[in-house]
Amino acid sequence: MFENLGWSEIIVLVLIGLFVFGPDRLPKVIGEAGRMLRTLRQMARGASAELRDELGTDFEIEDLHPKRFVRKHLLSEEDEAALRKPLQDAMRDFEELQHVDEVTEAYRDETPSPNGHKTPTKDRAARYDDDAT
Q: How many residues does the chain have?
A: 133
Instruction: Count CA atoms within 13 Å of residue 131 on its CB side.
Output: 0
Domain span at 93? 75-113
Whether residue 51 sits in one domain with residue 20: yes
| More confident: 32 or 98 | 32
Please give the tally of structural domains in the chain: 2
pLDDT of residue 42: 96
88-116 per-position pLDDT tens digit: 888 888 888 777 777 777 666 665 666 65
* Residue 46's pLDDT band (cuts 50, 70, 90): very high
Whether residue 79 sits in one domain with residue 50: no
pLDDT of residue 75: 72
Alpha carbon of 57 to those of 41, 48, 83: distances in Å?
A: 21, 11, 30
Whether residue 87 sits in one domain with residue 49: no
Q: Is residue 68 part of a domain?
A: no
Q: Is residue 125 part of a domain?
A: no
Is the model's pTM score more than 0.85? no
Cβ–Cβ < 8 Å for 121, 109: yes
